[in-house]
Structure 1
């Protein structure tokens, strides 16, 4: 393990920028990464011009690992907001877990429950949409006396039930789609609020 003196010696501008770059490479576009590194380099330059040491600036700016983690989360949430997809929102949710263990409860658990609910509604809708027409055809054949299997005691009632099932199934699938869009929007808002609460910084709308 490094001694206290060795750790202090490593707390300089070059090491700070190196760590920040290594943590953000592959996540941020190159031009955005360069802008961020330029901003932090400028922070060090201004601070040292005012007589502050690298160690003082390191502590005031915060750990480069923590800074990179926050920047990465904000970038992924913004990406999920601009380009809506299951992949992007999943990456944004997973990234927020790195901000604090309590996010396992306040972010991951609600996310999993919401996905399961939407998936359940979608599956039920698909089942009804598929089975409804099959039941309708079976009822017609039953009325014509050509059905080998009698699904309904009353084929006439079966026609209405099958039509209702098909309609309900389609409504569930369509409703689930719009429900998912609504919760996606709410989820982005919640993630922004979560980041602002944890980091203590205002998240740009």
Structure 2
């Protein structure tokens, strides 16, 4: 499909260079699979140019494998660093990926950040009430003001727990979305 001027050695060398960011064991596994694929296809009577002509370019294969590996790593070790790496690896698969992935991720990130700031504001409301009274020489001796501030703290803590649960859900949703994106791109490349 994509490349028909490379020979087998050049194709495999370019593929290995594209997989340079993967751990050595993963890279060796992928290279073994492609070498075995070439061996099997050659045993069926195809020459290396026919085999390479039926494959995607080494660059595209490498980006897809790198993205899948980053997503698997994000599933295994859930943290911000691994999810960002998975998103960035998926972005490398094309300009459409940039639009499909980056725009929703920006909106989700902004929404989560605003919720977190609001939660922090509610949690710190008693401290803010005292600071406001100190700087404005306007201390309130009404106990209801402090009780409301403490209730806002409780609401802020509940909101923070909600945000933590929402973050777990969004994390899983992002991984599903990235896997779907890779399948969609692969499907459109096959057609």
**Contact 1:19-1:65 at 8 Å conserved across structures:** yes
Q: Residue in 2 aligned with 1:150? A: 138
| Residue 200 of structure 1, CA deviation | 2.6
Say if 2:8 is the partner of 1:13.
yes
Unpaired segments ≥5 residues, structure 2:
none
Moved over 4 A (4+): none
Which is greater in Rg? 1
**Contact 2:15-2:62 at 8 Å conserved across structures:** yes
Counterparts of 1:170 and 1:47, CA distance in 2: 61
TM-score (norm 2): 0.86
Q: Residue in 2 aligned with 1:3? A: none
TM-score (norm 1): 0.81
| Residue 90 of structure 1, CA deviation | 0.8
SS at match of 1:102: helix
Aligned positions, number: 185
CA-based RMSD:
2.4
**Contact 1:125-1:170 at 8 Å conserved across structures:** yes
1:98-151 deviations in Å (ceiling 9; x for gaps): 22312222211111111111111111211221232452x579xx8xxx997225
Unpaired segments ≥5 residues, structure 1:
1-6
Which one of the candidate residues 126, 149, 164 is aligned to 1:177? Answer: 164
Q: Residue in 2 aligned with 1:198? A: 185
Counterparts of 1:131 and 1:94, CA distance in 2: 38
